[in-house]
Each structure stands twice: as structure tokens, then as C-alpha cells.
Amino acid sequence: MTWKVLIPEKLDDKAINLLSSDTNFEPIILDKASKEQLLEIIASCDALIVRSKTQVTEELIEAGKNLQIIGRAGVGTDNIDVPYAEKKGILVVNAPEESLDSVADLTLGLMITLCRKLHIAYERTRQGNFERGDLLGCELKGLTLGILGYGRIGQRVAQRARAFGMKICAYDPYINPRLPESEGIMLLPLDELLNTSEIVSLHMPLNENTRHLISTPEFDTMKDGAFFINTSRAEIVDTEALIAALESGKLAAVALDVVEEESPENPLLKYPNVVLSPHIGASTQGAQKNVGLIIVQDIMNVLKGNPARYPVNFPKLSSEAKELYGPFRDLISRIATILHPLTSSSFNKITINYPVNLPNPLPSILTRTFLSIFLKSMIASAEINIINAQKIAEERAIQIVESFMSDKDYQNRVAITIEMDGTVVNTAQGQISADQKLIINKINDYDVKLELVGYLFLIDFVDKPGMIGSICSFLGQNDINIAELQVSRLLQFQTQLMALKTDQDVSREITTQLQDLNGVNWVYYYSF
């Protein structure tokens, strides 16, 4: 038989040739196709390959009557309705790892550029000025490189930097400390790394915890005359604070592949010691060629009945497992959402306890679901999903243990423990009630019983008179109505945990102000 593969966007010629070389496949290549054309042509196609431009909507998927697989020639799948594809039994695949080396190479290139003042030398020489007296640079050998985010790209940068004889330290609150240490790399707290490094390179994901992570206090902590490089996400750096550090001379030079404002009016453009590039980290011939080849190979394999290399969604479940999957998936997903911000320190073991009667392969899929949410904001280099989550955990030397509870008291319950070298970091336990409600009933040593729907605050505070009233008064003064409230005490630690639900969504500003109340240890807000 012949499988038709629709390609409405530019794909590397070698990838097209690979597809055309097999008589079982017929590539249908469209150039600037309209929505109407896509809807008409996809009806007879077995596969679809897109990049970032084509929006693979529910309507387009529905029109693909014979569609079996969708390939995204790149990392993200934001332009693909993955849940609807899954509902229709259509596999989605992507190519998450092909640009990692490209970004690492660019990072080293930017280091050399800054240290040797190549950007200044280039512009000056173009103007016919061969004066070099003030272009005295420095060698990479012997300099200390501080890597913020020791994931896949950070590790590749470290490998390259070692070849230049650099000293390397890393900051990553979520990495197993044994991983960098086994490679001769010092794992340091953020402030110590900044104060130690001549070059600081950023390789972290953007999330609520990392937005403007590098601001005035962090720049002030850096060595005088440090070099700063960002090839990850612009919003991790406070641009105003960066400009102030440049103006004061705190930073000798800066290289950015990402900026918060992509426009000719960007104030960073006026500084001669700032190197800017238009987010070209993955823009190499090798990366683009490999992305196309990986996707074409995956689609050819799947249509011939072989497993996918990088599937985004997962295989079908048995009818028995399918009935249980929905509620358990929602429960473990919400427990993961609760535990993630609570887990701000390193960990190297995750234990998940399931009811003994869960049919296979449901526990494995639920574990991957948990990891895909719990680890999501810790991963900068690739989109994490339930297929690659286990592999990413292994790469970070995180041990994953599944155990099973036979006691009737644990029926329909899931309990999760996060540990570091045998010391418990965080725990949480939830259950599905008889009427199918999702209940959280334990957070660390605090006993709670609250349905996981709506708007939820978890507030840890000092156990002293007036605290409950102070918190409630603050919310009332800000027109936040309390729908439900529970308090649990830990006498040995002289702390209390308030689990509080509100009638309306709450702004980040309110949460921050609540955190600043005297006697409040920490505050986390969730919207389910």
C-alpha cells in the first residue's frame, strides 16, 4: 500500500528525498496552502508533517479521516491540539533533542566573542581602523564558568568548556548533586556561584520561579567585570537591572540570543559591549536537517508498524484501565502541581505508592504523568511529556520507585514521597472519594481534607495568637471571599498549615503581599 504524507511547510531536502525513496510513501508538498486547501487535501492523507506555522486544530484533525500520525519538525507542539489527536487515536511525534548541540556551540562562540572582544574588533576593522591597543582580551583557560541550569544544554556547555581548561560550577536546585560532582563540577548556591564566576551562562526554563530570577541583587553579587550570557529565555533576566549593571561597569560585556523587546528601539542596541542575536540557538543546518530526518524516519517507522522514537502522546489503554485512568490522572496531576513549588531543594528519589488493584500499564503511565508535571518547569532544553519524562528523570539521576498498597484504607489513594539521600523533602497524599471527588488529605506532616477544585491557598505560618485572624483580615480587606478554611497544627515545630479556598481567582500581587505578612513562612496559590 501507499501512505500519503502531507507536508505544508518547508522541510529539509534530504528528509523529502528519504520519504520519496520509499515507494510505500507519497509526499504531498504544498506551498503556502490556504486553510481550505488543507482541509480538502488532508482527507486522503495518512500522515501530516508541520513546523510551527501550520495550526493543527480540532477542525483540521477531524478532516483527516485517514490520519494516523502527526509529526512536528521541532520541539514544541503548541500549534497542535494534542489532546484532540489523542482522542481520535492519532499519534503525535516531535524531535526534542536535535538542537541541543547547536545551542551549546553558540554559547561557547559567544564566550569567545566577549573574551576576545571580537564584536568590537569586527566593527572597527570594517571601518578601516586597525588599531588594536584597547582590544586586549582574555583566555578561557583558567576562568571560572558558572552555569545556571545544569540540564541537557548546560551539561553540553560544560563538556565544551572543559576542553578549554575552564573551571566549572553550576547552580540547579533540582539536579541530583552527585551528577555534576561526578563530572568534576562544583554545585553551588546561586549567590556563591555568581560571586565566584568570571563568566555566567544562563540555561534555565522560564516559569514563575525563574521569571526575573537575575535582577539587581544578583548582578550586584557578581564579580566586577564579569561576562554574562543568556541563550535560554529573555524573561529570566530583568532588562532594567541588566542595563544598570552595564552602566555601572559591573558587567564587562553581555551576549544575549534572547531579549524581552525584539524591536529597533531596544535600549540594549546602543551598548558597544553588548552582543545581540535574534534567537538563533537552533538555527544551524545540522539541527534543521536532523529535525526533518528524525520526523520523517519516525513517521515511516510508525506507518510500517514500528514504535516511534519521540512520541508525544501515549498508546491506547485497555477498557478496564481506561475507566480508571481519568480520575487517577487528574488526582496525580494535581498532587504534582501542589508538590512542585513546595520542592525548592535538591532531591534524588521519588516514591509513588498506588493501590495494589490498579491494572497494568496504568501505574507506569500515571508515574510518567506525575513526572511530566512535577519536572516540567525544571527542564529548559526540551518539552517534557509522559513519554520522555522517565528518561529525563534518569538523566538527572533521580530514582523512581513504584510501590503498591494493599491495605483497604489505601483504596483509591496515591501517596508520593520526595527524598534526598534518604531524607524526606516533601510528601503528599490524595484519594478519589466514593462520589469521584479528588481529595488531598496529607501534605508533609499536616493532615488536611480538601477537594482539589477551585482556588486554593496553602499558607504555612508561625503558631501564635492572631495569625489566623491576620491572614483572614488581609484577604477580606482585598475583597477576597473565603469559601472554605482548614488549619492543621504541628506542635513540635510550632507551625500551622492553613488550607484555604476562595470564591475568586487571586492575583500574583495579592499572593506576594500575603507572603510578606509577619509570621507567614510561605504561601502557595493554585487554581484547579
Per-residue model confidence (pLDDT) at position 206: 79
Banded model confidence at residue 318, pLDDT cuts 50, 70, 90: low
Share of the chain above pLDDT 70, in %: 96
Check pLDDT > 90 for residue 51. no
Between 398 and 389, name the one with better pLDDT. 398
- Is 119 a catalytic site residue? no
Q: Strand pairing partners for 376?
A: none
What stretch of H or E contains 462?
strand 455-462
pTM, two decimals, is 0.65
Residue in 119, 156, 233, 413 annotated catalytic? 233
Instruction: Assess whether 340 carries a catalytic annotation.
Output: no
| pLDDT computed for residue 40 by the predictor | 95
Q: Which of 357-361, 386-390, 432-436, 496-500 has the highest mean pLDDT?
A: 496-500
> Which of 185, 184, 114 lies closest to 149 in space, CA to CA?
185
- Looking at the domain 454-528, which fold is it? Alpha-Beta Plaits (3.30.70)
pLDDT value of residue 383: 57
Whole-angstrom distance, CA of residue 523 vs CA of residue 429: 19
- What single DSSP character describes residue 399? E
Q: Please check the confidence at residue 100 and state whether its pLDDT lies above 90.
A: no
Residue 263 has pLDDT above 70, yes or no: yes
Lowest average pLDDT, out of 290-299, 379-388, 398-407, 436-445, goes to: 379-388
Interval 375-394: pLDDT, tens: 876 665 445 767 678 878 88
More confident residue, 276 or 279: 276
More confident of the two residues 287 and 307: 287
Q: What band does 91 get if pLDDT is binned at 50, 70 and 90?
A: confident
Across residues 257-267, what is the average pLDDT? Answer: 91
On whether the 316-444 domain is CATH 3.30.1330.90, my answer is yes
Is domain 3-98+286-303 in CATH 3.40.50.720, yes or no? yes
Stretch 151-159: mean pLDDT: 92
Catalytic residue, from 279, 395, 402, 419: name it.
Answer: 279
The CATH H-level (homologous superfamily) assignment of domain 100-276 is: NAD(P)-binding Rossmann-like Domain (3.40.50.720)
Q: What is the rounded average pLDDT of the residues 305-313?
A: 77
Answer whether residue 24 shows pLDDT above 70: yes
Q: Could you give the CA distance from residue 396 to residue 98 in angstroms, rounded to a whole number?
A: 19
Looking from the CA of 401 toward its CB, the CA atoms found within 13 Å total 13
261 has a pLDDT exceeding 70: yes
CA distances from 3 to 77, 242, 484 (A): 23, 53, 56
Poorest-pLDDT segment among 90-94, 175-179, 441-445, 451-455? 175-179
pLDDT average, residue stretch 200-220: 91
Backbone angles phi, psi at 522, to 5 degrees: -155, 155
Confidence of residue 469 (pLDDT cuts 50, 70, 90): very high
Kindly state the average pLDDT of the residues 90-114.
90
Specify whether the CB–CB gap between 263 and 71 falls below 8 A. Answer: no
Task: Identify whether the C-beta of residue 355 lies closer than 8 Å to the C-beta of residue 405.
Answer: yes
In the set 58, 59, 247, 262, the catalytic residue is 262
Averaged pLDDT of the chain:
90
Q: Is the confidence at residue 76, as pLDDT, over 80?
A: no
What pLDDT was estimated at residue 29? 95
Burial of 480 (0-12, 13-18, 19+ CB in 10 A): buried
Residue 319 has pLDDT above 70, yes or no: no
Local confidence band at 49 (pLDDT 50, 70, 90 cut-offs): very high
Contacts of 500 (CB under 8 A, 6+ apart): 456, 457, 458, 459, 471, 475, 482, 484, 485, 486
Domains 100-276 and 316-444 share a fold: no
Residue-wise pLDDT for 414-455, tens only, equals 999 999 999 999 999 999 998 899 999 999 999 999 999 999
Question: CA 367 to CA 385: how far, in whole Å?
Answer: 11
Q: Where are the domains of the chain?
A: 3-98+286-303, 100-276, 316-444, 454-528
* 262 in active site: yes
- What is the pLDDT at residue 314? 67
pLDDT at residue 315, as a whole number: 59
